[in-house]
A = this chain, B = another copy of it.
Amino acid sequence: MPATDARIAAVDTYDIRFPTSRELDGSDAMNPDPDYSAAYVVLRADEPGEPEGHGFAFTIGRGNDVQVAAIHTLRHHVLGRSVADLCADPGTLYRDLTSDSQLRWLGPEKGVMHMAIGAVVNAVWDLAARRAGRPLWRLLADAEPEWLTAQIDFRYLTDALTPDEALDLLRRGRKGAAERTEHLLTTGYPAYTTSPGWLGYDDAKLARLAAGAVADGFRQIKLKVGADLDDDVRRCRVARAAVGPDVRLALDANQRWDVPEAIRWTNALAGFDPYWIEEPTSPDDVLGHAAVRRAVAPVKVATGEHAHNRVVFKQLLQAGAVDIVQLDAARVGGVNENLAILLLAAKYGVPVCPHAGGVGLCELVQHLAMFDYVALSGTTEDRVVEYVDHLHDHFLDPVVIRAGHYAAPTAPGFSAALRPESIARYTYPGGAFWAADAERTEGRTA
């Protein structure tokens, strides 16, 4: 990366909300009316030639202002720091942020404050990859194992994963990386699609979208379940008929059930040969997931999008609670913490099938999955990245899906940057869309 005396001069935050609830896109058993939103941060240097670093936390509407306020609270850790130093070692900032003792009390390492840390840390990685002129997945895949290991905070992990074990996994992961990079550039990374399966869609739309997904090359689709068992039986029948016996059908309960109910409900749908049941119960319930897993096999148990930090993932693996690790790019403390989670999964031999969707989660997480394939797990077997066809047009470097695969990004960065015109239009409450919306509402009630 180029030498520079540049320092971070601005940590700008934006409350960006998209009015997705009006279309019932994204509706599930726990989230009937999400307005997909981003608490968005841009790091700007004091030299005009330096790129910006973009990052965000994903929320679903109300409270996005609280998330923005949390990011704002971190800015004194970033302002004035050397851009070159930050990019050479994002791990130091990550540890400074998680070690701020006063802010730590608000978590620790969970919820609003931890997602804020993730947004800022990811913005630094976006900046680092832009300065290096490379997509993040390549920056990570080409990095020295020693350097990657140093990016991880092993606190609370050493009973399951030590730095030496991580280093060993990363060194072994590099064998064959060049061939896998070529394969990835040619073929892409397998995706599955959730777009057919939202609860708000009727059966005809479900059948049409499910068949369309298979025609588009997807080998797995996902259905939201958990609101009503009779409905779910019918919808599973419709979906299975539409995709045929050989395409995987994943189910997602979005935390709807208690443990006994999760077992009953999943087993009641077993006849449709579901591949996994996702978020069957509270994301905090490691022992609950383990109990569900024992009772619903061979249906697999998947969770992780709401697992709030590496300690939860550690326990899910220690307890044998999951068949599938669904890390999320913007829920935990950024790339650094996700490196730890990828290594934990590699150590336990459990496949990672990242959560995506929302605002920009597909854009971010593809980089982590591709790094994992090229330089850690070395395989895409039983691995797929979620794909949802929402809101990609708002990004400068949107994901590209071809024949059911994510095309490997080639633009520099973490694919995190929203278009300036989208930021302007959807900033809440003052952006053009929301201002006009408020006027419409006033017009109706006047």
Whether B104 lies near A30 (C-beta < 8 A) is yes
Supposing A31-B101, A101-B30, A108-B255 touch, asked if A63 and B113 sit within 8 A by C-beta, the answer is yes
Bound-complex Cα distance A310 to B106 (A): 18
Q: B residues within 8 A CB of A60? A: 101-102, 105
Instruction: Tell me the smallest distance from the CB of A364 to a CB of chain B, in Å.
Output: 17
Supposing A110-B308, A281-B156, A306-B108 touch, asked if A287 and B315 sit within 8 A by C-beta, the answer is yes
Q: B residues within 8 A CB of A35? A: 102
> Which of B155, B283, B286 contacts A108 (CB under 8 A)?
B283
Q: Say yes or no for A82: interface residue by CB 8 A criterion.
A: no
Instruction: Tell me the smallest distance from the CB of A326 to a CB of chain B, in Å.
Output: 16
Interface members, chain A 162-193 (any B CB < 8 Å):
none
Whether A291 lies near B159 (C-beta < 8 A) is yes
Cβ proximity bits A257-283 to B, threshold 8 Å, 1 near / 0 not? 011110000000000000000000111
Bound-complex Cα distance A156 to B281 (A): 7
Q: Say yes or no for A53: interface residue by CB 8 A criterion.
A: no
Whether A260 lies near B159 (C-beta < 8 A) is yes
Q: Which of A101, A110, A288 has the most CB atoms of chain B within a 10 A radius of its CB?
A: A101
Q: Say yes or no for A435: interface residue by CB 8 A criterion.
A: no
Q: Say yes or no for A410: interface residue by CB 8 A criterion.
A: no
Supposing A104-B30, A108-B283, A108-B306 touch, asked if A65 and B59 sit within 8 A by C-beta, the answer is no
Q: Say yes or no for A70: interface residue by CB 8 A criterion.
A: yes
Q: B residues within 8 A CB of A350? A: none
Whether A284 lies near B255 (C-beta < 8 A) is no
Q: Which residue of B lies closest to A58 (CB)?
A: B105
Q: Say yes or no for A66: interface residue by CB 8 A criterion.
A: yes
Supposing A159-B291, A286-B286 touch, asked if A106 and B67 sit within 8 A by C-beta, the answer is yes
Q: Say yes or no for A157: interface residue by CB 8 A criterion.
A: yes
Interface members, chain A 292-321 (any B CB < 8 Å):
306, 308-309, 311-312, 314-315, 318-319
Bound-complex Cα distance A287 to B157 (A): 12
Whether B258 lies near A159 (C-beta < 8 A) is yes
Q: Give me the 8 closest cross-chain CB pairs, A-B, nearest first.
A: A111-B111, A61-B102, A112-B112, A159-B259, A62-B102, A156-B282, A284-B311, A60-B105
- Supply 8 A–B pairs (Cβ within 8 Å), ascending by A: A61-B102, A63-B70, A106-B111, A106-B112, A108-B282, A108-B283, A109-B282, A284-B311
- Taking beta carbons and an 8 Å cutoff, which residues of A are in contact with B? 30-35, 59-63, 65-67, 69-70, 73, 100-115, 154-159, 255, 258-261, 281-288, 291, 306, 308-309, 311-312, 314-315, 318-319
